[in-house]
Amino acid sequence: MEDQQCLGCKLANKRVETHIVYENELVTCFLDHAPLSEGHILILPKHHYHDVDDLDEITAFEIMKTSAMLSRVLKSQFQPDGITVIQNGGIFNDLNHYHMHIFPRYESDGFGWVEPADTANAKGRLSVTQEQMITFVNRQLSV
């Protein structure tokens, strides 16, 4: 269902002007207003969802299918060195509406993955973390 106050819902349902490159009954895809590179696209569901784990299976599948199609379009149009597909959840979801970014990448574009300063603790706990996660995955699958 659409949230009348949500900017993401307004964008996805064309109540705010955007540069749409593709849409269907479930998603709207448009150019990011502050692109990291030419062709930077946002994929938004037309119904209101906040995080990836809120999506229903049909919408989640449509978003992934659309991201693959748009990746092919970006590769064809811009001949990038690669494509980045990313989604930020929780407090990092600045739109408060699920959205996926997909954008062309170039070796010299300066975009980078910045690792936190202290990763040693996580690296040293891989086996413990694995065991814990398997337990939680199994619980989630039995729900």
Q: What is the pLDDT of residues 121-141, one digit of tens each?
A: 788 888 998 999 999 999 999
The pTM score is 0.89
Q: Which domains does the chain have, with CATH numbers?
A: 7-118 (3.30.428.10)
By residue count, the chain amounts to: 143
Each residue's pLDDT tens digit, 5-36 = 899 999 999 999 999 999 999 999 999 999 99
